[in-house]
Amino acid sequence: MDTALGFRFKRIANIREAGDGTSLFVTLWEFEVKSGSEELFEQAYGPEGRWVQLFRRDACYCGTRLLRDVGRERVYVTMDMWKSLEAYEEFRKKYAKEYAEIDRMCEGWTASERHIGEA
C-alpha cells in the first residue's frame, strides 16, 4: 500500500478497535531482517506470533500490524497499539522479563532494529 510518506508496505494484521474508537497509543519499530530469517521473523512478529501472545496478556493491548516494505528487501515495521502510553509503559514494567526473553530469542534474525519516534 502506498502512503503519503512514500512507504510501500504489505500489511499482515490482526487488530482490535480502540475502546472508544477515537484514540490509541502506537509504538513503531523498524527491522531489517537477515536473509533467510524472514519466515521466522514473520511467525514471531505476525498476528499470532510470540509478541502478540505476550501482549494479549494485558487488557490494554489493542492490536498489532506487521508491515513489509515492498520497496526495500527484508524491511518490516511493527505497529503495536495500546489504549494509552501509560498502559504501554505499565505493560513493559509488568512483563519486562518475558519481553526481554522474546527479544533475545528474536535478535539473531535481524541486522538492525529501530524504535521509530524515539531519540
**pLDDT tens track for 67-103:** 999 999 999 999 999 999 999 999 999 999 999 999 9
**Is 62 a member of any domain?**
yes
Quote the pLDDT of residue 21: 60
**Is 61 a member of any domain?**
yes
State which residues form the domain around 100.
9-113
**Is 39 a member of any domain?**
yes
pTM of the entire structure? 0.79
- Domains in the chain: how many in total? 1
Helix or strand run (H / E) with residue 96: helix 96-106
Q: What burial class does residue 22 get, using C-beta atoms within 10 Å of its C-beta: 0-12 exposed, 13-18 middle, 19+ buried?
A: exposed
Mean pLDDT of the chain: 86
Helix or strand run (H / E) with residue 46: none
**pLDDT tens track for 2-16:** 343 444 444 444 445
Half-sphere exposure in the Cβ direction for 43 (13 Å, CA): 7
CATH number at residue 40: 3.30.70.100
**pLDDT tens track for 40-59:** 999 999 999 999 999 999 99
